Amino acid sequence: MAASKSKTPQDDDAADEVWVRATNGETAIRLRRLSHYLDKGGSLIDVRLLEDAEGTFTLWVRLADRPGEFLVNQFQYDKPRAYSDLNRAMSNIRNELGYFGPVTLQTDRRPSK
């Protein structure tokens, strides 16, 4: 009879590695995994909101212990978490992610002529 293998903290850490996904050359993280990462003591060092030409904002984050910038995807899907309202995006950054540092706002939107 084979002995049952007990779960170790290293097993939990290895399972957490799957939350980083490559999508179209971009690196993304699901909002649920980001929340889990923060709950386990991880931290954000930079946040950027990118406004597209239609006025929709996507959220990009830099993590304290990983190189690069990560696009934040929806809770259960591999599509970017998009905000149509800047106030709602900022509320999420402050209240849900607990980030109170500087937030960079970048836009691809141009004034109509």
Tell me which architecture the domain covering 20-107 has in CATH.
2-Layer Sandwich (3.30)
The Cα 49–Cα 92 span in angstroms is: 12
Query: Is residue 52 predicted with pLDDT exceeding 50?
Result: yes
Residues 82-106 have pLDDT tens digits of 999 999 999 999 999 999 999 999 9
Q: What angle do CA 9, 93, 48 make, to 5 degrees?
A: 100
pTM, to two decimals: 0.76
Three-state secondary structure of 84-105: CCHHHHHHHHHHHCCCCCCEEE
Q: Which residue has the tokens 């591999």?
A: 78
| pLDDT: which is higher, 113 or 84 | 84
